[in-house]
């Protein structure tokens, strides 16, 4: 007999924040040999071509259990190879910010992912992986263990992993002992197998934004087949008494991809969907603003004729009371970005921590003792200041109330600062402020329990204010 893969993930496309279970057996070896161990040789790459011919990222061993089966959970290994996409892509033809190309890479044109003009591909959040399984053993109790690399492996098929997570209550599909999360059944199909597929987000289909707000909508692409591609995205602008439509091709020249290939970055893309992004390049959007734009819709079309769910962006004005609007972005359940603008009252405060010392009040190491007024007594050696912000939402829906749970639980949260009309603006570090949420509890409100629903979120900036060192 040979190694048999008894259990594996049910689907080839999987969020990696879950148990990634493989179970293997070899009844003949386990029954008749000694010092038996099953071996998993793991390969991870940006490309699917000859994946298992590359150097493995690790080799892992396990002892057969009482049933003679070796069980591997490879999540702790695999999840370290995907992470969030924070910058506009330099892969392929590169993404653009205010129509400025990122290729060749230069400090003057790199930009946060949230600011992209049209499309950007993923550089970090999606990868291929595959596994070769072996079994090592000795022919007798005291003999040497054979070199497993001289044996033929049992190879898995290639899988695609992305930086999403599953919660314990996410519904899994079980077939023949294999289980997994069916992206297509649950609507995250990249718009292909059926109409009304979702973008890769749990955000409500109706969102709100100011004209200065940046943000992206992410989607899966070329999955599960080469024909399943986002062909274009249709934007329809509405104002009192009129509307206009604009079609944005998903193509190489627009920062996307056209031809199906073997690179992982072709499978996860972002579209610059919010007003700040559209103002970077769209004359039609500018004309709609001049006509009194109230809202617009976003819908993706695939090569095979299906269409996505319609996402509606309602335009909100700056708060009439003069409150500072603050826009947050956070890493959502699927490892990409969601956004919300807190347009009500916000309060900023400074928390300061001082390190001090006691200074001598004169010159003790000179020919003559001198007293100086500025010397002596307690002095600050260093001052560390942290800015804290308390944010308040407007009245929200029950869907938004559930969605905000992802914000509270997210490991990455940033303030996204607004659109600049300066066409020559090339310094983009001013747009993103990393923050840490200090809100420690969250109550999911309902209309039945709470009637009108608002939330308060507290956070602090991750970077301390700079002061002089003494």
Q: Among residues 169, 174, 193, which one has the least CA distance to residue 183? A: 193
How far apart (Å, rounded) are the C-alpha atoms in residues 320 and 322?
Answer: 5
pLDDT of residue 185: 66
Virtual CA dihedral for 116, 120, 124, 127, nearest 10 degrees?
A: 160
User: Which uninterrupted H or E stretch holds 351?
Assistant: strand 347-359
Q: 34: Cβ–Cβ under 8 A, 6 or more apart, which residues?
A: 137, 138, 139, 140, 141, 143
Domains located in the chain, CATH noted = 4-84+125-180 (2.60.40)
- Give the count of alpha carbons within 13 A of 206, CB side only: 8
Contact yes or no for 125/116 (Cβ under 8 A): no
How far apart (Å, rounded) are the C-alpha atoms in residues 105 and 157?
Answer: 35
Q: Which 3 state secondary structure label does DSSP give 391?
A: strand
Per-residue pLDDT of the chain (470 residues; tens, 9 = 90+): 589 999 999 988 899 998 999 999 999 999 999 999 999 999 999 988 778 888 899 999 999 999 999 999 999 999 999 999 999 988 878 898 888 765 444 445 688 999 999 999 999 999 999 999 999 999 998 889 988 888 889 999 999 999 999 888 888 888 888 888 777 666 544 434 346 678 889 899 999 999 999 999 998 887 766 667 889 999 999 999 899 999 999 999 899 998 777 889 888 999 999 999 999 899 999 999 999 999 999 999 888 777 888 999 999 988 777 788 899 999 999 999 999 999 888 888 888 888 888 888 877 788 888 888 777 788 887 888 889 999 988 888 888 888 988 999 999 999 999 887 765 556 677 889 999 999 877 777 777 776 678 888 899 998 877 777 77
Which string of DSSP letters, residue by residue, matches 88-140? ---STT--EETTEE--S--TTT--BGGG-SSEEE-SSSEEEEEEEEEEEEESS
pLDDT of residue 356: 82
Q: 466: Cβ–Cβ under 8 A, 6 or more apart, which residues?
A: none
Contact yes or no for 145/36 (Cβ under 8 A): no
pLDDT of residue 105: 47
Other C-beta atoms within 10 Å of 319: how many? 16
Residues in the chain: 470
pLDDT of residue 39: 96
How far apart (Å, rounded) are the C-alpha atoms in residues 57 and 43?
Answer: 6
Q: Among residues 273, 277, 254, 257, which one has the least CA distance to residue 265? A: 257
Q: Among residues 181, 165, 128, which one has the least CA distance to residue 18? A: 165
Reading phi first (left if > 0) and then psi (alpha if -120 to 50, else beta), residue 93 is in alpha
How does strand 413-416 pair with strand 432-437? antiparallel
How far apart (Å, rounded) are the C-alpha atoms in residues 360 and 373?
Answer: 11
DSSP code for 98: T
Q: 448: Cβ–Cβ under 8 A, 6 or more apart, which residues?
A: none
Instruction: Give me the phi and psi of 216, to 5 degrees please.
Output: -125, 160
How far apart (Å, rounded) are the C-alpha atoms in residues 125 and 123?
Answer: 6
Other C-beta atoms within 10 Å of 369: how many? 9
pLDDT of residue 132: 95
pLDDT of residue 294: 97
Which residue reads 């080469």 in tokens? 226
- Give the count of alpha carbons within 13 A of 37, CB side only: 12
Q: Which 3 state secondary structure label does DSSP give 47?
A: strand
- Quote the radius of gyration of the chain (alpha carbons, Å): 28
Which residue reads 């060749």 in tokens? 104
pLDDT, tens digit, for every residue of 282-309? Answer: 999 999 999 999 999 999 988 877 788 8
pLDDT, tens digit, for every residue of 323-357? Answer: 888 999 999 999 999 999 998 888 888 888 888 88
Respond yes or no on whether the N-terminal peptide bond of residue 164 is cis (omega within 30° of 0).
Answer: no
pLDDT of residue 427: 64
Sign of CA dihedral 171, 173, 174, 179: negative
Sign of CA dihedral 396, 398, 403, 408: positive
Q: Among residues 32, 34, 51, which one has the least CA distance to residue 132? A: 51
Helices (H), 41-90: 75-78
DSSP code for 320: T
pTM of model > 0.85: yes
Contact yes or no for 341/393 (Cβ under 8 A): no
């Amino acid at each position: 007999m040979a190694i048999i893969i008894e259990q594996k993930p049910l689907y080839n496309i999987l969020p990696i924040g879950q148990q990634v279970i493989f179970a293997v057996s070899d009844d003949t070896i386990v029954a008749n040999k000694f010092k038996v161990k099953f071996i998993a040789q793991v390969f991870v790459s940006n490309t699917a071509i000859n994946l298992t011919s590359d150097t493995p990222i690790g080799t892992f061993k396990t002892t057969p259990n009482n049933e003679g089966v070796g069980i591997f959970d490879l999540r702790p290994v695999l999840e370290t190879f995907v992470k969030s996409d924070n910058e506009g892509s330099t892969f392929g033809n590169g993404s653009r910010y205010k129509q400025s190309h990122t290729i060749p890479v230069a400090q003057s044109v790199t930009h946060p992912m949230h600011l992209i003009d049209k499309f950007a591909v993923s550089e970090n959040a999606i990868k291929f992986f595959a596994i070769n399984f072996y079994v090592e053993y000795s022919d007798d109790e005291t003999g040497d263990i054979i070199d497993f690399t001289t044996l033929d492996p049992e190879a898995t098929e290639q899988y695609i992993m992305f930086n999403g997570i599953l919660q314990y209550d996410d519904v899994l599909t079980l077939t023949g002992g294999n289980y997994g999360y069916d992206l297509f059944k649950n609507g995250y199909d990249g718009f292909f197998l059926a109409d009304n597929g979702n973008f890769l987000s749990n955000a409500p289909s109706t969102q709100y934004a100011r004209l200065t707000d940046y943000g992206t909508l992410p989607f899966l692409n070329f999955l599960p087949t080469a024909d399943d591609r986002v062909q274009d995205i249709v934007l329809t602008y509405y104002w009192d008494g009129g509307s206009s439509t604009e079609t944005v091709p998903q193509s190489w020249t627009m920062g996307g991809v056209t031809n199906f290939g073997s690179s992982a970055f072709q499978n996860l893309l972002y579209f610059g969907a919010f007003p700040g992004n559209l103002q970077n390049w769209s004359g039609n959007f500018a004309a709609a603003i001049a006509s009194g734009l109230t809202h617009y819709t976003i819908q993706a079309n695939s090569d095979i004729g299906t269409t996505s769910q319609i996402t509606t962006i309602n335009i909100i004005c700056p708060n009439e009371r003069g409150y500072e609007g603050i826009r947050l972005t956070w890493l959502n359940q699927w490892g990409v970005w969601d956004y919300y603008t807190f347009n009500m009252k916000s309060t900023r405060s400074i928390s300061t921590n001082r390190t001090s010392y006691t200074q001598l009040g004169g010159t003790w190491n000179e020919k003559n003792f001198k007293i100086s007024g500025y010397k002596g007594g307690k002095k600050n050696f260093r001052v560390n200041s942290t800015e804290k912000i308390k944010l308040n939402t407007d009245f929200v829906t029950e869907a938004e109330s559930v969605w905000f749970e992802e914000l509270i639980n997210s490991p990455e949260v940033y303030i996204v600062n607004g659109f600049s009309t300066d066409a020559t603006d090339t310094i983009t570090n001013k747009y993103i402020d990393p923050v840490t949420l200090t809100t420690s509890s969250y109550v999911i409100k309902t209309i039945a329990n709470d009637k009108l629903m608002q939330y308060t979120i507290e956070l602090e900036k991750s970077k301390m204010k700079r002061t002089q060192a003494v």
